[in-house]
Amino acid sequence: MNTAAVAVEAGDVHGRSLWQDAWARLRRNRLAVLCMIVLTAVFATCFLGPLLCPWQPGVQNLKLKAVPPGSTEVLDGVERTHWFGTDTLGRDLLARTLQGGRVSLMVGFVATLVALIIGVSYGAVAGYFGGRVDDAMMRAVDVLRALPFMIFVILLVAMFGRDLLLIFLAIGAVEWLTMARIVRAQVLGLAHQEFVDAARSLGLPAHRIIFRHIIPNVLGPVIVYATLTVPAVMLLEAALSFLGLGVQPPDSSWGTLIDDGAKNMESQWWLLAFPAAFFSVSLFCLNFAGDGLRDALDVKASKD
Amino acid sequence: MTNWPATEFPMLRFTLNRLIQSVIVVFAVFTITFFMIRLAPGDPFAGEKAMPDDVRKVMEARYGMQSASEYKDLQGFKRFKVRASGLTNEYFYTLRRFASGDFMPSFKYQGLWNAKIIRDAYPVSLTIGLAALAVALALGLPAGIIAAVRRNSWVDYSAMSLALVGICLPTFVMGPVFALIFGLKLRWLNVAGWFERTDWILPAVTMGLIYAAYIARLTRGGMLEVLNQDYIRTARAKGVPPARIVIVHALRGGLVPVVAFLGPALAGITTGSFIIEKIFNLPGLGQHFINSIFDRDYSLILATTVLFATLLVTVNFFTDLLIAWLNPRVRLT
């Protein structure tokens, strides 16, 4: 009896799942780990920061309009600093950036998650079954894509009022369409590969083949596209707000703050610089973390 | 959809099937849009000044609409019944006019036909869109390929960081910055408007840079996927030069995600972007997509939507052909 068999009998050998392997590989990628830490820090700052920040995002001080970063003001008898300066209406930019970050991060991640779940399942099912199922499902996507998105948003706003949840819904409802097409294109190529034929000849049910065998193989492009979707969603939210259908003043998001900042870019640089810095750093980290994840999940690449 | 007897001509069967499906898609889009805009609150005749009832009646008759005076004072189910039958009549009237190629007059631009509005605006958007696409491909493809081949090197990191800048920077920041530098400071190009031969450059570059960033990242992802496949190793083993492997063998499969993204996006790129047109003050088609909705210009909404849907099904058809050609494992159905 060889040693391996002994070990198996003694129960010392544990299989390593795809995810355990991926996690081990991900931890070795320093850049990806650093980016994940920074991303967590940005999240923590935006969601917990307001507890420490003395300023309220909506409160104006008309005497301190558009003062540069580092100006001080006496609040409740204590001298406090506007670290990021104030905007043209005398509101503290730090508080507004954090508040905008909460909105943007939530819209970005929730809408992308919605798009991811619907798009990947839909695209994989269409691509796997092919033929008439694929035709019908993809033509339905075409119909939804061609519908004027703005009417849909206006209808939602008219029926349910202006609500942040609606922005998630509306954006998620558009973004999954592209995801579905990308996944389907990949799955069409996979559906006739040997390992899928093998799984099918073993008599596995379709849902098991799709979710256990096919979807893990399309995760690479899906993650890349998902990391592209997050910024796209945040910008779409900004565009909606720009048209008066998204976040309404006095609330803000990074998109609307950047838009405001761009208008005053020559006289008050800080109005653009701070929100844009938060936005760009988050997206940078998100993308490199996504790349790390992609590489970690790529079984073939790790062999050579 | 249908079982054509000509199974020995897969291309022909695919084309015919798709043609039928496309007509159904455009029809469905038309129908859903028609009822969606009628469900939305507001109407095209609502303005700051109240419109006299007689004027309104004449206007409504011109567009085949049920007169509002017929159901204004009705309540409950009766109102619903009158309104529903009126809407159905309007729907078939509008469908007949659109099906015969007559895109009806606009509600907002009195005296102008929608076909004329689109004919004037579309060339502007098409020029800018195609130029933007050229910019995007010229920058994005090489960057993505080099980044994938030299994976995890400084070339990869700098190319991908640049691409990220393109994705992060919103159009409404990049556009004004370009206008400031090349228009106001250097005075090379016009800041806004559509008068000179060079006016397409700034909007096209602004739009193209964003798509270049997307293309670069998708190309890199797709190439990485392909470069690890067995057939690439085989090609390498039999001594094919590395450059040829990348360009001839790998690029073909690596482009699939790019094509899948760019195909449908093409319909949007060539019909203009509202934000770009606003920044550079262009008489393009993008503004009509958004403004017609805010104006409740029913016929113009339908005209732009039908145009967009037709373009979309057309590019999708060619996208699927291209994907099948790029990846022979894909079977056309």
Name the residue in chain A with its Cα closest to that of B151. Answer: A295
Predicted pLDDT at B307: 92
d(CA B327, CA B325): 6
Give mean pLDDT, residues A85-90: 74
pLDDT digits (tens, 9 = 90+) for B198-213: 788 889 998 998 899 8
Listed in sequence order, the residues at least 6 apart from B49 whose beta carbon sits closer than 8 Å to its beta carbon are none
Query: Nearest CA of chain B to the CA of A3: how many Å?
Result: 33
Q: Which of A181, A231, A272 sits opposite B168 (nearest CB)?
A: A231
Determine which of A29, A133, A144, A151 to mutate to test the interface with B (most B C-beta atoms within 10 Å): A151
> Is it the case that residue B75 has pLDDT exceeding 60?
yes
Beta bridge partners of A74: A79
Q: What is the pLDDT of residue A302?
A: 44
Chain B residues touching A132 at Cβ < 8 A: 1, 333
Is B17–A139 a contact, with Cβ atoms under 8 angstroms apart? no
pTM: 0.79
**Of A29-43, A144-158, B103-117, where does mean pLDDT reach its minimum?**
A144-158
Higher pLDDT, B39 or A44: A44
Measured from the Cβ of residue A277, the count of other Cβ atoms closer than 10 Å reads 12
Q: Tell me the average pLDDT of chain A.
A: 80
Stretch 100-159 of chain A: residues touching chain B, C-beta under 8 Å: 130-132, 134-135, 138-139, 142-143, 145-148, 150-152, 154-155, 158
pLDDT-derived band of residue A12, with 50, 70 and 90 as boundaries?
Answer: low
Tell me the average pLDDT across B191-196. Answer: 78
Q: What is the ipTM of this complex?
A: 0.74
Q: What is the pLDDT of residue B6?
A: 46
- Maximum mean pLDDT: which of A84-93, A241-250, B45-54, B272-281: B272-281
- Tens digit of each residue's pLDDT (9 = 90 or more) over B271-284: 888 888 888 888 88
A155 vs B39: CB contact, 8 Å cut-off?
A: yes
Collapsing DSSP to helix, strand or coil, B42 comes out as: coil
Mean pLDDT of A102-126: 90
CB contact under 8 A, B256 and A143: no
* Residue B2 reports pLDDT greater than 50: no
Distance from CA of B159 to the nearest CA of A (A): 13
pLDDT at A11 over 60: no
The rounded radius of gyration (Å) of the Cα atoms in chain B is 25
Q: Which of A23-37, A44-58, A66-80 has the largest mean confidence?
A: A23-37
In a 3-state reduction of DSSP, which class is residue B49? coil
Residue B141: pLDDT band (50, 70, 90) is very high
Mean pLDDT, to the nearest integer, of B96-104?
A: 87
Q: Is the Cβ of A28 closer than 8 Å to some Cβ of chain B? A: no
Subunit contact B289:A150, Cβ cutoff 8 A: yes
Q: What are phi and psi of B199, to 5 degrees?
A: -70, -10
pLDDT at A295 over 60: yes
